[in-house]
């Protein structure tokens, strides 16, 4: 039974690719309208966790997944049409991925694929999403220009706008700032704080201070295992239950 304020419930989730274990019996809850930051070194299982949420692992024939993920109490493995699940979860990857089409069409692409054709509705969606991604003022006079001609930071915000176009309930961000400058990173962070009002956000980041700035709670993963998850007040203090958490956030290893 889903707890009232939990959006996602993960129980005993294990994932392997051939002989390599990516996640090992992970159990974790993600709450409604929170930002859960996920930290840990390379190969900790962070990206695999995100891929499991919208069943991207279905596309990998080597992936073996066990355990349960429930969103709003529904076991996602029993959803027959995975596209329905994916429309509920916006994904933003580390590198900006602008589609080779206009700025307008980048944002309108998913709604059109979902069957929307009315130009007025599409215009509204494009403006709203570009506004939400804090890039509207920079591109509103050139919506017919190629999205791939934007700067890296603008392309990453365009990617966020595209992820918002179907009004997802969950937004997953995988090291979104890895390829953008510090000023743009701060702009996107402000966007993320605002978006939390309307959706649940999972932020995978290799920047401990970013997790501290944005997360309501933070989870540490090491070697495919969940070490600890707690409020930021606990995780970024000596109150941590596991000394490895304190050592990681202090930069002793990573």
Residue 145 is assigned to a structural domain of this protein: yes
11 beta partners = 68
Range of the domain at 209: 35-63+80-249
Q: Mean pLDDT for each 10-residue chunk of the chain (254 residues)?
A: 77 96 98 97 96 95 96 95 92 84 96 93 97 94 95 91 95 90 89 92 96 97 97 93 94 84
Residue 24 is assigned to a structural domain of this protein: no
| pLDDT at res. 1 | 41
Residue 6 is assigned to a structural domain of this protein: no
Residue 241 is assigned to a structural domain of this protein: yes
Tell me which residue has tokens 């606990």: 234
CATH code at position 123: 3.40.50.300
CA–CA dist 60, 76 (Å, integer): 17
Structure tokens that stand for 71 in this block: 């969103």
CA–CA dist 173, 107 (Å, integer): 17
φ, ψ of residue 208 to 5 degrees: the values are: -60, -40
Residue 5 is assigned to a structural domain of this protein: no
- What lies within 8 Å, CB to CB, of 235 at 6+ separation is 217, 218, 220, 228, 229, 245, 249
Residue 8 is assigned to a structural domain of this protein: no
Residue 221 is assigned to a structural domain of this protein: yes
- Residue 53: CB atoms within 10 A of its CB come to 23
| pLDDT at res. 2 | 44
The model's pTM is 0.91
| pLDDT at res. 4 | 55
CA–CA dist 31, 46 (Å, integer): 18
- What lies within 8 Å, CB to CB, of 15 at 6+ separation is 21, 22, 23, 45, 48, 52, 57, 63, 64, 65, 66, 224
Tell me which residue has tokens 């970013």: 210
For the chain, what is the domain count? 1
Residue 72 is assigned to a structural domain of this protein: no
Tell me which residue has tokens 């939400």: 132
φ, ψ of residue 35 to 5 degrees: the values are: -105, 115
């Amino acid at each position: 039974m889903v707890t009232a304020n939990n959006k996602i419930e993960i129980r005993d989730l294990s994932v392997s690719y051939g002989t390599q274990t990516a996640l090992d019996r992970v159990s974790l809850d993600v709450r409604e309208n929170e930002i859960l930051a996920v930290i840990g070194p390379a190969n900790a299982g962070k990206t695999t966790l995100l891929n499991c949420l919208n069943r991207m692992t279905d596309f990998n024939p080597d992936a073996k997944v066990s355990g349960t993920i429930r969103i709003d109490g529904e076991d996602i493995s029993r959803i027959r049409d995975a596209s329905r699940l994916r429309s509920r979860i916006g994904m933003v990857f580390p590198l900006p991925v602008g589609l080779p089409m206009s700025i307008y069409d980048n944002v309108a692409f998913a709604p059109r694929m979902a069957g929307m054709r009315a130009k007025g509705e599409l215009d509204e969606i494009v403006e709203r999403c570009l506004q939400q991604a804090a890039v509207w003022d920079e591109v509103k006079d050139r919506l017919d220009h190629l999205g791939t001609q934007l700067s890296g930071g603008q392309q990453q915000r365009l990617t966020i706008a595209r992820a918002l176009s179907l009004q997802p309930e969950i937004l997953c961000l995988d090291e979104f700032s890895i390829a953008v400058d510090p000023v743009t990173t701060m702009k996107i962070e402000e966007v993320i704080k605002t978006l939390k009002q309307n959706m649940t956000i999972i932020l995978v980041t290799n920047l401990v201070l970013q997790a501290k700035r944005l997360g309501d709670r933070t989870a540490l993963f090491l070697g495919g295992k969940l070490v600890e998850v707690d409020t930021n007040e606990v995780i970024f203090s000596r109150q941590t239950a596991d000394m490895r958490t304190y050592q990681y956030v202090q930069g002793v290893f990573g």
